[in-house]
């Protein structure tokens, strides 16, 4: 087991001026499960491949434990990688696939068999050891790829979107298995995904990237409660946080027919005439008085049983209609086409600078 350090690590692809990863600075603790998340092209897979030794590092350094591995070949880094497409040998049995790296390393057959059987037991693959990959489901193949990584007993696991080929239900169960397995083994893990729900449910900490730049690194709870900027606020959370530009008023901000109190220090920290206020769908209260708050025209209602999400439009702080999402009680759902008056819950608003996008509120 080991710590992992990205020390201002930069990757610039040949022929490009803009870095794919720009001065990435992350310290990963021994045994930690860190998730790199962001939209396509943000640099998360490139960061993982730099750590694996599959991409050159043009500036900065990467360390695993006390060793500087920046220019070491992959085989000398003591890492094991799990890919999106499983990368299993079709002509080999499950047992041979799982033990192949050990065989190449010259480990005795009896020891290989013992390690493969132990990993198969952990992953519930014992009865499939003599089968070929084509006789397995997608979820089973991914577990074989995990097993191949486990038997090597590396210092660091690297996982590049390992669940994206699985169907929705299997993804949920497999991500639970991976997270519990990692905690049991205690091996430092760096996991890449574009799915923010996956990131929030699996990681000890989450690092959000955009255009090669690290936007924020924090625990899932802190990132949800205190996003550092507009990008993180809009990216983390499902459905996404409502972000609306509103004028500053005496005592707060003008939200429809109401003035919503917000942090005074936040408003004094900007010279803009407006701020961007973020409100999560669950932090709106339905107003009892039709003259209060913000009038939302209901367009679509998603009923999920205990809760329902109302997707509607409203005029907030200007003449343009803004799309908003509000969570309501699943037993008290408004009709499509009706009007719903809502007020942001006090103390649950997030204030961002309209010009820079940075967080202003505590």
Same domain for 8 and 131, yes or no, is yes
Looking only at the bridges linking them, the beta strands covering 321-329 and 274-279 are: unpaired
pLDDT of the chain, 362 residues: tens digit per residue: 689 999 999 999 999 999 999 999 999 999 999 999 999 999 999 999 999 999 999 999 999 998 999 999 998 999 998 888 878 899 999 999 999 989 988 889 999 999 999 889 888 889 999 999 999 888 888 889 888 888 988 999 999 988 887 888 888 888 888 888 888 889 999 999 998 889 999 999 999 999 999 999 999 999 999 999 999 999 998 899 999 888 888 878 887 777 888 777 777 777 778 889 999 999 998 887 777 778 899 999 999 888 899 999 988 766 678 899 999 988 888 888 899 988 888 888 899 998 899 998 77
Q: Write out the residue range of the structural domain in which residue 252 sits.
A: 240-353
Tell me, yes or no, whether 67 lies in a domain: yes
Q: Domain for residue 359, yes or no?
A: no
Flag whether 361 is in a domain: no
For 133-189, the DSSP string reads: GGGS-HHHHHHHHHHHHHHT--SEEEEESTTTTS-HHHHHHHHHHHHHHHHHHT-EE
H-state helical runs in 226-350 = 230-235, 264-268
197, 214, 231 - which closes a domain? 231
The domain that holds 281 is classified in CATH as 2.40.50.140
| 68 and 168 share one domain | yes
Domain boundary among 202, 231, 260: 231
Number of domains into which the chain is organized = 2
Q: Are residue 154 and residue 244 in the same domain, yes or no?
A: no
> Which has the closest alpha carbon to 270: 245, 293, 290, 289?
245
86 & 138 share domain: yes
Write out the DSSP string of 259-292: EEP--HHHHHT---SEEEEEE-GGGEEE-SSTTS
Query: Is 223 inside any structural domain?
Result: yes
Asked whether residue 360 is domain-assigned, the answer is: no
Residues 199 and 256 reside in one and the same domain: no
The CATH number for 38's domain is 3.40.50.300
């Amino acid at each position: 087991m080991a710590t992992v350090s990205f020390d201002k690590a930069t990757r610039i692809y040949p022929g490009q001026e803009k870095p794919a990863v720009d001065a990435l600075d992350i310290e990963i603790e021994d045994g930690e499960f860190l998730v790199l998340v962001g939209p396509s092209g943000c640099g998360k897979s490139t960061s993982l491949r730099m750590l694996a030794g599959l991409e050159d590092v043009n500036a900065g350094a990467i360390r695993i434990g006390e060793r500087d591995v920046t220019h070491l070949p992959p085989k000398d880094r003591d890492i094991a990688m799990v890919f999106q497409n499983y990368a299993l040998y079709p002509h080999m049995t499950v047992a041979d696939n799982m033990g192949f790296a050990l065989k190449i390393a010259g480990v005795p057959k009896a020891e290989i068999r013992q390690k493969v059987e132990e990993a198969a037991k952990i992953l519930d693959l014992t009865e499939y050891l003599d089968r070929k990959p084509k006789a397995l489901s997608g979820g089973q193949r991914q577990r074989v790829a995990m097993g191949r990584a486990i038997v090597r007993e590396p210092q660091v696991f690297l996982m590049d979107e390992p669940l994206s080929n699985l169907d929705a239900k299997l993804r949920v169960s497999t991500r639970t298995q991976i997270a519990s397995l990692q905690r049991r083994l205690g091996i430092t893990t760096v996991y890449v995904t574009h799915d923010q729900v996956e990131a929030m449910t699996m990681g000890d900490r989450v690092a959000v990237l955009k255009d090669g730049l690290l936007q924020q690194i924090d625990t899932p709870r802190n990132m949800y409660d205190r996003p550092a900027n507009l990008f993180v606020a809009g990216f983390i959370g499902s459905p996404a946080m409502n972000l609306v530009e509103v004028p500053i008023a005496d005592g707060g901000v003008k939200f429809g027919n109401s003035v919503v109190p917000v942090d005074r220090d936040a408003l004094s920290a900007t010279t803009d005439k407006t701020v961007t206020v973020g409100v999560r769908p669950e932090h709106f209260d339905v107003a009892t008085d039709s003259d209060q708050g913000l009038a939302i025209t209901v367009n679509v209602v998603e009923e999920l049983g205990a809760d329902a999400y109302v997707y509607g439009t409203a005029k907030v702080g200007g003449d343009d209609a803004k799309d908003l999402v509000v969570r309501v009680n699943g037993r008290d759902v408004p009709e499509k086409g009706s009007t719903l008056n809502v007020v942001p819950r006090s103390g649950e608003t997030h204030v961002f600078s309209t010009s820079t996008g940075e967080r202003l509120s505590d």
